């Protein structure tokens, strides 16, 4: 914030009074729509404004926007699967909103990882200026071709002379090729891999629309949060002795990948029985410590 900002107190963006009629979405401007009706996965909401009288008249009003970290795919590949799944789920929820917005289906014209940031562990799109609600006109199906590097799709031409779901399908395939293929399958729980494979195949072939994709993601989330993804195995926890009152150290006996910490082996588990099974599968593991921390799905964090 510039030194002269306190010349006038910070003011938050104006909200309509309770007696005012609800504002209509601006016609044809997706960016303005999301500024008026912010979505939890769209960055750029106005937090406030400062007025600095010492600056040039054209730049005296300074907007304060939400700060996010650039999306680094290499770093994300080193994070636990649960966090990568959260990013993909956030993206799917955003695309669901864009497909059903008050203005109609919105397409992100410059769909690239650089257009997204991480804010408190959540994925958000930063720039809605390169968005459009324009639907491609057509006379026949061949007019509705979606071209991507190495792959093309022909969609249906509706009786209204518009390409059916073109904006939605374009967003979805870009999500598949830039996010799903890298973040979804690697180190996923083995019982969930067939479902994740179905999602990858169906979005990669555009057999799924955004509604089916969101439903498939929510099914995976339910199985994960409920522990139904755990495979039946012989009880192993009885082989361990419970000792209470121990504190965790930052540096543990060994490291594993992917881990919530680069200093040791810090993983999320559904219950202590799963923790014992993981420890038994790793020759260097002799014990584990259950912490009070929880992930966004409610899973326990523990040190090995």
Separation between Cα atoms, residue 279 and residue 262, nearest integer Å: 18
Residues with Cβ within 8 Å of 144's Cβ and at least 6 positions away in sequence, in order, are: 136, 138, 154, 155, 156, 157, 163, 164, 166
Per the annotation, the verdict on 110 as an active-site residue is yes
User: Is the pTM above the cut of 0.75?
Assistant: yes
Domains and CATH numbers, the chain: 5-65 (no CATH), 70-226 (1.10.510.10), 237-303 (no CATH)
Other C-beta atoms lying within 10 Å of the C-beta of residue 99: 21
Burial tier of 71 (Cβ tally within 10 Å: 0-12, 13-18, 19+): buried
Catalytic residue among 20, 29, 52, 110: 110
- Per-residue pLDDT of the chain (304 residues), as tens digits, is 444 444 443 333 333 343 343 344 444 555 555 555 556 656 555 555 566 666 666 655 555 556 678 888 888 888 899 999 999 999 999 999 899 988 889 899 889 888 888 887 788 887 677 788 888 899 999 999 999 998 999 999 999 999 999 999 999 999 999 999 999 999 899 899 999 999 999 999 999 999 999 999 999 999 999 988 887 766 777 777 776 766 555 545 677 777 777 777 888 888 888 888 888 888 888 888 888 889 899 888 888 7
């Amino acid at each position: 914030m510039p030194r002269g900002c306190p010349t006038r107190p910070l003011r938050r963006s104006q909200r309509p009074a309770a007696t005012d009629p609800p504002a209509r979405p601006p016609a044809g401007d997706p960016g303005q729509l999301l500024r008026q009706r912010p979505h939890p996965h769209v960055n750029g909401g106005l937090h406030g404004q400062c007025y600095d009288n010492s600056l040039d008249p054209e730049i005296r009003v300074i907007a304060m926007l939400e700060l996010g970290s650039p999306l680094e795919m290499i770093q994300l590949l080193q994070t636990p699967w649960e966090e990568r799944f959260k990013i993909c789920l956030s993206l799917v929820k955003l695309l669901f909103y864009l497909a059903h917005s008050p203005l109609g289906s919105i397409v992100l014209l410059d769909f690239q990882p650089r257009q997204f940031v991480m804010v408190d562990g959540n994925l958000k799109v930063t720039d809605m200026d390169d968005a459009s609600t324009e639907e491609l006109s057509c006379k026949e199906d061949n007019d509705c071709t979606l071209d991507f590097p190495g792959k093309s799709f022909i969609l249906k031409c509706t009786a209204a002379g518009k390409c059916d779901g073109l904006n939605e399908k374009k967003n979805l395939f870009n999500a598949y090729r830039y996010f799903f293929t890298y973040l979804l399958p690697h180190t996923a729980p083995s019982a969930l891999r067939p479902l994740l494979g179905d999602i990858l195949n169906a979005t990669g072939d555009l057999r799924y629309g955004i509604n089916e994709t969101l439903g498939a993601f929510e099914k995976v989330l339910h199985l994960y949060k409920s522990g139904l993804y755990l495979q039946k195995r012989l009880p192993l926890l009885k082989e361990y002795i419970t000792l209470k009152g121990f504190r965790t150290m930052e540096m543990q006996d060994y490291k594993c990948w992917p881990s919530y910490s680069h200093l040791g082996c810090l993983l999320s588990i559904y219950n202590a029985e799963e923790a014992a099974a993981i420890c038994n599968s790793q020759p260097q593991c002799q014990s584990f410590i259950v912490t009070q921390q929880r992930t966004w799905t409610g899973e326990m964090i523990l040190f090995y």
